[in-house]
Amino acid sequence: MNSRIIPITDFIRRFGDYAAILPFMDELIVTREGRPFATIKATPEEKNRELLKCVGLWKGSVLDSDNFWKKVLKRKNRLGPLIW
């Protein structure tokens, strides 16, 4: 994740855009007259809500196959797959 520094006027003008990307960022630093004025973060509940949208995303695809992951984790110079 990352942080972003923006002027307060840009934050006011594009609040909807920043509110939409805030769950995917560490923090948003708002400046006033070139100096940090406020730090804005998404709540943990909002970040979890975004993560839950991805649950089951791979279901029914090639990435859902155990055989696929065994092939991915198997190195060419080893006999068996790597164990986590």
Q: Is residue 84 part of a domain?
A: no
Q: Is residue 34 part of a domain?
A: yes
Alpha helices in 1-84 (DSSP H): 8-13, 15-21, 44-52, 66-73
pLDDT in tens, the chain (84 residues): 588 999 999 999 999 999 999 999 999 999 999 999 999 999 999 988 888 887 777 777 877 788 877 777 776 666 666 666
CATH number reported for the structural domain that contains residue 51 in this entry: 3.40.1620.10
Q: Is residue 83 part of a domain?
A: no
Q: How many domains does the chain have?
A: 1
Q: Is residue 80 part of a domain?
A: no
Q: Is residue 78 part of a domain?
A: no
**Enclosing domain of residue 11:** 3-73
